[in-house]
Amino acid sequence: MPLRLERGLKRVGIGVGALLLVAFALTRGFTLILRCQPKRALSATRTLFGRVLNPLLLWFSDRFDLDQSVVYHIGRTSGREYATPLCVSPTPDGFIVPVAFGPDVDWLANLRASPVARLMHKRVTYAVEAEVIDADEAVRSAGGSPACPCWKELRVQDFVRLRPVDGVSGKTDRPDPLVESV
């Protein structure tokens, strides 16, 4: 193998390794922020997710057919529809959503103001009604144990139950076009 090619491959390997190390460090950092919830770091993380990572995730899920669950809710002051990608666990009576970023997130405030929303889960759109519940009720609804390991790891205390109000609204590849993402 020529020396020049060998050096190039070595640099690529170092770059990929460094990228993986940075991704791991960011993941662990986000986990610590969500677990301990220091106000300043949590606020910065919410902003990063709301303005950068959530729109990016919605863009990727549209183009690469990801099974990302998305809650469509109405803004409490603007009246606009927002889309928020969330971790959703199905239960016998609906869905459970952990409120990992704390109870002050915008999507939760919007659902408290107007609890009727739409949920797209596995390419099926549901009309749902939101109800804030505690960790004990979430575990009971999930069948007696946490539906997702992140519930324990992140020490999530607040959850939202999304109950279908009129069954399945219709099977679609994608719901109505998005106006904003939160």
Q: What does the pLDDT profile of the chain (182 residues) look like in tens digits?
A: 677 777 777 777 777 777 777 666 666 666 666 666 667 776 777 777 777 777 887 887 777 777 788 999 999 999 999 999 988 889 988 999 998 888 888 899 999 999 999 999 988 999 999 999 988 888 888 887 777 777 777 778 889 999 998 754 444 444 444 334 44
The answer to whether 166 and 127 have CB atoms below 8 angstroms apart is yes
Residue 76: how many CB atoms within 10 A of its CB?
13
- The CA distance from 74 to 19, in Å, is 37
